[in-house]
Amino acid sequence: MNFDIVIVGAGPSGLCFAQALAGCGLRIAIVERQHESQLANPVFDGREIALTHRSAQLMHTLGLWGRIDPSAISPLRDARVLNGPSLYAMNIDHRDSKKSELGYLISNQCIRKAAYEAVKSSPAITLLTEAQITTVTTDNAGAYLSLANGEQIQAQLLVAADSRFSETRRAMGIAATMHDFGKTMMVCVMEHSVPHHHVAWEWFDYGQTLALLPMNGMRSSVVITLPAADIQQLMTMSEADFNQDVAIRFKHRLGTMQLVSTRHAYPLVTAYASRIVAQRFALIGDAAVGMHPVTAHGFNFGLCSVEVLANEIKAAQARGGNIAATALLERYERKHRIRTRPLFIATHAIAKLYGDDSIPARLLRTVSLRIGNRIAPLKRAVAHMLTEAN
C-alpha cells in the first residue's frame, strides 16, 4: 500500500493532523491498533481537556467544534492557585486576558469522537485499524512500515502520534527525556453543593495536589495527585467513603461531594523528545512533548504541532515541493521547540517547588504566590499564556 503520509496513532493529535491535511491532494493513512468501534465510540477516560482560545479556533477550522454538543463545552472563566491550607490564592482573572473567559473545558471523550467523525467524512483519509506494526524504517526514497498481518506500507513521510511512550519514536532510535514524578493522578467527575462559578483551582496542598476543573452546572472534574499506594486506596474505596474522603481533602470548600463518574488513574510522567524529526519522519502531540498537567497545555501543544507541521506540508504541496524535505522538517522542529521548551522547563520548576513540602520550600511557595498576585504584568502574562489569545 502506498500513501503520501502515514500517521501512527489515532488519538486526538493523530486524527486532527490527518484532518488538517484533508483536501490538499495528499493520500493519508492512519495506522491504529484499536478496533474502529473503539474510535467511533470512545469510552469515558476521566480526562477533561482545558483548551485555549487558539486551540478552540483550530478545532473550529478542522470542523470538530460543531460536532460537539454545546452543553458539553464548559467555559473556564478564571483560575485560582492555592498553597497549603491557606485560603489565600493567586487569582488569574479572565479580564487580564481581555477575553470573556480564559478558555474552555471539553471531555477527551468528546474530542476523540468529534475528531473521528471528521476524519471519516474525508475520502482522502484511510483508517487502518487493528494494525500491529512490526518494523519501521526510512531512507532517502521513503518511509516503510511492516504490519503483523504481512502487509507493507510505503509513504513519503511518516508521522508518529502514539503517546508520550511512543513505540514508533523508539523504533526510529530517538531518545526522550522522561521524568517520572513518582506520583499518580486520579481523575473523576463529582457533583458538589457549593457552586464553582466556573473558576478552575490548582491547589498545592501539603502532601497532595488537588485540581478542580469546572464543568457546566454543579459538576467539576476533580484531579487528585498522590503516591501510587494512596491513589490505589482511593480507587478501591466504596463510593460513600470516597465522597466523604474527597470532601475532606477539599476541606469542605465545595460542600458535600458526590461521585458521578468512574474513577481513572494515570502515572505522572513527562516526556520531551531529544529530536522531533528525522529522515522522512516527524513526531507530533505527546510523542514529541508530553507535558506535566499543571499548566493544562498538553493537548494545546499537540494541536500546535498539528497546525505548524500541517501548514509546512500544505505550503510545500501547493508549490509542488517535497513534503518530507529535510529543511521543511527542521523548520517544524525549530518552531515547535521555541513554542514548547520554555514552558516545559518552567512547568517542571513549578512542579518541583510546589511538590516540595520542606519548611524552606513552603516559605518560598507562600512568598512567590503573594508576590505573583501583586504584580499585574505578571498576572496578565500568565493569563495570556493560559488563553493563547491571538
User: Which pLDDT value is given to residue 359?
Assistant: 76
Rounded to whole angstroms, the Cα distance separating 297 from 284 reads 14
User: Which pLDDT value is given to residue 381?
Assistant: 54
Does the residue 323 lie in any domain? yes
Domain that includes residue 38, residue range: 2-178+268-387
Beta bridge partners of 223: 187, 211
Does position 382 have pLDDT exceeding 70, yes or no? Answer: no
Residue with cell 502574562: 381
Q: How confident is the model at residue 389 (pLDDT cuts 50, 70, 90)?
A: very low
Does the residue 377 lie in any domain? yes
Q: Do the beta carbons of residue 263 and residue 46 sit within 8 Å?
A: yes
Give how many domains the chain has, as a whole number: 1
Does position 15 have pLDDT exceeding 70, yes or no? Answer: yes
Does the residue 335 lie in any domain? yes
Does position 37 have pLDDT exceeding 70, yes or no? Answer: yes
User: Which pLDDT value is given to residue 146?
Assistant: 96
**pLDDT tens profile 66-113:** 999 999 999 999 988 888 887 777 777 666 556 678 899 999 999 999
Q: How confident is the model at residue 372 (pLDDT cuts 50, 70, 90)?
A: low
Question: Long-range contacts for 273-278 (Cβ within 8 Å, ≥24 apart)?
Answer: 273/169, 273/174, 273/175, 273/176, 274/174, 274/175, 274/176, 274/177, 275/174, 275/333, 276/332, 276/333, 276/336, 276/337, 277/329, 277/330, 277/332, 277/333, 278/138, 278/172, 278/173, 278/174
Largest separation between any pair of C-alpha atoms in the chain = 63
**pLDDT tens profile 270-281:** 999 999 999 999
Q: Do the beta carbons of residue 324 and residue 331 sit within 8 Å?
A: no
Does the residue 241 lie in any domain? no
User: Which pLDDT value is given to residue 98?
Assistant: 64
Bridging pattern class, strands 103-107 and 74-76 = antiparallel
**pLDDT tens profile 152-162:** 999 999 999 99
Among candidate residues 360, 158, 118, 136, the one with its CA nearest the CA of residue 277: 158
Length of the chain: 390
Q: In this predicted model, which residue has the larger pLDDT, 151 or 352? A: 151
Question: What CATH number does the domain containing 70 carry?
Answer: 3.50.50.60
Provide mean pLDDT across the span 115-123.
94
Does the residue 257 lie in any domain? no
Rounded to whole angstroms, the Cα distance separating 230 from 184 reads 9
All three cell numbers of 131: 494494525
Neighbours of 151 (CB within 10 A): 11
Quote the percentage of the chain above a pLDDT of 70.
91
Does the residue 117 lie in any domain? yes
267-271, 329-333, 381-385: lowest mean pLDDT where? 381-385
52-56, 82-86, 133-137, 216-220: lowest mean pLDDT where? 82-86
Does the residue 209 lie in any domain? no
Q: How confident is the model at residue 180 (pLDDT cuts 50, 70, 90)?
A: very high
Q: Do the beta carbons of residue 202 and residue 297 sit within 8 Å?
A: no
Rounded to whole angstroms, the Cα distance separating 30 from 111 reads 17
Question: Residue 325 — φ and ψ, nearest 5°?
Answer: -60, 145
Does the residue 255 lie in any domain? no
Provide mean pLDDT across the span 260-265.
97
User: Which pLDDT value is given to residue 9?
Assistant: 97
DSSP output for 34-55? S-HHHHHSPPP-S-EEEE-HHH
What's the predicted TM-score (pTM) here?
Answer: 0.90
